[in-house]
Amino acid sequence: MEVNLEFLIPYLNYLVLALIGLLVLYVKTYFQERAKRSALSATNKKLVEETESIKKEHQLDLSKRRYQYESKKEQYLGFFKLLDKFTNEATLKSQAELIPIIDEFNKNYLNASSQGNKKKENIAVTVMSKKIQKLTFASNEELTKLKQETNTIRIIASKDILKKLELLEQSYDEIMEQSNQIMSDLPKHMLVNNQEKMNQQQENLQVSAMVTKGIKDDIIDLMRKELNEI
């Protein structure tokens, strides 16, 4: 049987055109998908890089905040250790040095008084006054050192803490002034045995000490709050 090729040629042409169209469509789809995958890969890569960058920044921020916390905590703890040391040492030192001065005065003054020797009585008072002045001067030096050490805290402290530190210094100055006055008045009060005046001065000093403690407690609370906010 003979096939009429001329009859099939149009169909073959359509078939070829259809195949070419499919091929073109495939190639177009392939490159489109490839472009999409490439864009998606680039987007994923960018997202990964951004995620890693955010993680690094977050870790850096955590490290920075941890350093700030530890640094501030160490300096704040050191500050209060210094305050406690100053308070305790000043109290113990004053007691340890003042008691022998008073004992010596009582001994010398009573001996002079029993002999009716006014000159020796005056000498006993003068010696006591000079030793008390020396003790007072030493206490003022210790307070000056404390103020100098406080400057480190001022650099890192918040405004609220700075205000409290100013009040604390003023309170310490007031206590030191009262203590100096008590020490200065002690010889004359002892001479006339003015217990009422000495007790009044002591009570005033205790009130000032309570005010100072309140300020210290406020500073501790503010420092804790500041550390928690880091």
Q: Quick: pLDDT tens for 137-150.
A: 777 777 777 777 77
Q: Using the predicted structure, report yes or no on whether residue 9 has a pLDDT greater than 70.
A: no
Mean of pLDDT over the chain: 77
Give the lowest-confidence range in 53-67, 116-130, 147-161.
53-67
CATH code of 75-228, in short, is 1.20.120
- Integer-rounded Cα Rg, in Å, for the chain is 44
Domain range annotation of the chain: 75-228
Q: Pick the residue with more confidence: 1 or 98?
A: 98
Which pLDDT value is given to residue 66?
72
| Position with higher pLDDT, 63 vs 10 | 63
Q: What is the mean pLDDT of residues 32-44?
A: 69
Query: What would the pLDDT profile of 207-224 be if each residue is shown by its tens digit?
Result: 888 898 899 889 888 888
pLDDT in tens, 82-95: 777 777 766 666 67
Confidence of residue 5 (pLDDT cuts 50, 70, 90): very low
Q: How confident is the model at residue 183 (pLDDT cuts 50, 70, 90)?
A: confident
